[in-house]
Amino acid sequence: MAQLIPPHGGKGLTICLLEGAEREAELQRAQNLKKVPISARVKGDLIMIGTGGFSPLTGFMTRADWKGVCENFLMADGTFWPVPVTLDVSREDAGQIKEGDEIALYDPEGDEIMATMKVTEVWEETEADKRWECEKVFMGEGTPTAEEFWKIAEEDHPGVQMVMKQKEFNIAGPVKVLSEGEYPTKYAGIYHRPADSRKIFEERGWSDVAALQLRNPMHRSHEYLCKIAIEVCDGAYIHSLVGNLKPGDIPADVRVKCIDVLVKNYFVEDNVVQGGYPLDMRYAGPREGLLHATFRQNYGCSRMIIGRDHAGVGDFYGMFEAQTIFDKIPHPEEPGKALLCQPLKIDWTFYCYKCDGMASLRTCPHDKKDRVLLSGTMLRKLLSEGGELPDHFGRDEVIEILRDYYENLTEKVEIKTHKAATGD
């Protein structure tokens, strides 16, 4: 019998999603509670808490949790966690909520009550607090000083912009989740709860599973990374973000279509599983790489593929900073509180004309001019401008899907390039 990695936190999957009669009763009760609007990011976090994707979290973080996570990667109880998971509310709403209150969390975009919450703390996050959080969570080797970071962060870093636009207060407390939003229907067959992926892996007899994080269309380098993982593990989990991205990124339904055609034509299907999860990108580079490994552990993955500039944006992070950060994090001794999912560190991969195949900086002795060095960012820029792609960057079937998408776009967003996109 396959023995999958246990969920993070040592408490199993902490599922806060109600179903059936219990859900209906709570939904009825929620109609009489104060409704508090939530952002798209909080909605995704809430669904992950509900399904056990964020185990062992059962609600949103206290100020002590937030401070410990930003400063030391540890929540107040000593459990490893790499990025804050907080729920922001306006000053007006905070003034009407006190410790012990029960409230309803409302998604204004979907016009739906998503959860109920028992408030345990109402705490202010000042402008100075937000800047401190940004420096701790988003500042990397590409901008090693706070002065360099703030010169460009507020204009060019979507994660920083997201934090700085948060409302003035946060509320903490456990939740009862009542909905998974549009994801189960819009991405039927792709959207997974952790229990779903674990069941699939167990049925296949897998115990050592590698996760491939995707927010861009799957090109040849992604394909190569995935195939390396399949060679050394029981199987690979191609796990795509189906939540919100920054403007100019390619939507989830197009990316899913690209993965479908790749898996069908270029993989042994028994060795790969495709799934989707509902978070918004935070673009936190190394810290987000740790988050990806943390919740992939809950989905049953023992390894997280970490390549070049994982979850990066612009030139804020070193090329392999998301790999080296795994060697620097704390490892709590208390069982279950340490991160168990390990990184599968792979060098920069590309097609080399002289090697006549896919290679990496560790295996290819040739010059830069012999290599197809393009990122997902450069792919989007070339396609959006109607440019020609170099041979061997992507499979023809995938490029055809992407060209069709860009040709039918009515509103285009300027794509900024950076060192990671061009190979400089």
Active-site pick, 41, 193, 198, 215: 215
Comparing CA positions, the residue from 238, 243, 332, 341 lying closest to residue 291 is 341
Could you give the C-alpha distances from 307 to 211, 341, 350, in angstroms and in order?
12, 16, 12
And the tokens for 237? 């989990």
In DSSP terms, which residues pair with 112 in a beta bridge?
Answer: 107
Instruction: Fill in the amino acid letter for 285.
Output: G
Exposure string (b/e) for 322-334, b if CB count within 10 Å is 16 or more? Answer: bbebbeebeebee
Work out the number of other CB atoms within 10 angstroms of the CB of residue 72: 13
Question: Which residue in 170, 216, 244, 271 is the catalytic one?
Answer: 216
- Whether 215 is a known active-site residue: answer yes
- Look up residue 288 and give its two tokens: 């987000």
Q: Which helix (H) or strand (E) holds 116?
A: strand 112-118
Sort 168 into a burial class: Cβ within 10 Å, 0-12 / 13-18 / 19+: middle
Decide: 253 and 259 in contact? Cβ < 8 Å.
no
Q: How far apart are CA 92 and CA 167, in angstroms?
A: 10
DSSP at 394: S
**Residue 26 burial (CB count, 10 A):** 17
Sheet architecture: strand order including 303-306: 272-277, 235-241, 209-214, 303-306, 342-345
For the four alpha carbons of 280, 283, 284 and 285, in that order, the dihedral sign comes to positive
Looking at 16-62, list the stretches that DSSP marks H as alpha helix, in order from N- to C-terminal side. Answer: 20-30, 40-51
Nearest to 259 by CA among 278, 236, 279, 282: 236
> By C-alpha distance, which of 204, 129, 208, 201 is closest to 169?
129
The answer to whether residue 204 is catalytic is no
3-state secondary structure of 151: helix
Task: Give the end-to-end CA distance of the chain in Å, rounded to a whole number.
Answer: 48
Contact 236, 324 (CB under 8 A): no
- CB 90, CB 168: distance < 8 Å: yes
| Residues with catalytic function | 215-216
